Amino acid sequence: MCISLISSIRRTILICSFPRIMASRQSSDMPKFKEALKSAKEVVILSGAGISAESGIPTFRGAGGFWRKYQAANLATPGAFRTSPSLVWEFYHYRREVAAKAQPNPGHIAIAQYEAKYGTDKTITVITQNVDGLHVRAGTKNLIELHGNLYKTRCTKCKEVLVNNDSPICEALEGRGAPDATVVGSDIPVKSLPHCKKTGCGGLLRPHIVWFGENLDPAVMDKAQAAMATCDICLVVGTSSVVYPAAMFAPQAAARGAIVAEFNIEPTPATSDFHYYFEGPCGTTLPEALAD
């Protein structure tokens, strides 16, 4: 299943596929939600760009999703990397540097503290669409990163995946990647970009990110689907519910009878499918929802 933006046709299919009884039960009753959460044995927290935006991480989605003069989504493709690996690496170097300076916000921390406190009595799984590593830095342990991680690389030749927290990731990228709209292209030679250090390889490295047009790792997808298939309750946190396949997770859970609560600054196309909706910044609503 490829990552893609939801189309009106697919949204129509989704609406027709799931019962619409959820809308009549939708609630913002926090005490009632907390009682449901207290009794749950399996909890899934599905997070998206909204929670990281509260830490200052650009979402790169919608009308404002530009880096320099480029639509960010157009750089997050295999084709863009084949055509201009230097330009794509400048973009991802910028993203790595921004994320490294960001700090987990109260929403991230509330999730990690909830897991630490109740993880021995409940099965708590955090599934994130984010690639910035903020959940890990907040202390979350049982984490599924659907779309990869900015601080991992994958060799285009031998396919080895490694953690890389170097800043800059290579000498040629130092001081590069600023979102200056007057800068066009990149003049960094490909030989100066990050390369595999494995003996006998030397292949060009790429960010270990699932780009548009690529499939999610089957093992990662299976693990996420398994958690969604058995959870009693699902918290949908700061996600626009428009990127597949994650966009179908919570509606499917609600359709089979799991309680789903959405935490977001505004309603999404999937809000009416869920039992609860709590409007506001995740850094405000989550600490309340996950506290005793």
Binding residues: 48-67, 92, 95, 129-132, 155, 158, 196, 201, 238-240, 264-266, 282
User: Six-digit token pair at 22?
Assistant: 């959820």
User: Six-digit token pair at 143?
Assistant: 């984490």
User: In a 10 Å sphere around its CB, with 0-12 CB exposed, 13-18 middle and 19+ buried, how is residue 249 labelled?
Assistant: buried
Q: What is the DSSP string of 141-166?
A: -SEEETTEEEEEEEETTT--EEE---
In angstroms, the CA 285 to CA 63 distance is 27
Q: Which helix (H) or strand (E) holds 259?
A: strand 259-264
Q: What sign results for the dihedral spanned by CA atoms 153, 156, 157, 158?
A: positive
The one catalytic residue in 93, 108, 135, 147 is 147
Task: Return the DSSP state at 203.
Answer: P
Residues annotated within a binding site for NAD(+)? 48-67, 129-132, 238-240, 264-266, 282
Please report, as a single letter, which amino acid is at residue 165: N
Respond yes or no: is residue 135 known to be catalytic: no
User: Six-digit token pair at 39?
Assistant: 């009794």
Q: What is the DSSP string of 208-235?
A: EE--TT-BPPHHHHHHHHHHHHH-SEEE
In angstroms, the CA 58 to CA 54 distance is 9
Give one word for 271, left, alpha or beta, with left for phi > 0 and alpha for psi -120 to 50.
alpha
Angle at 222 between CA 220 and CA 227, to 5 degrees: 100
Catalytic residue list: 147
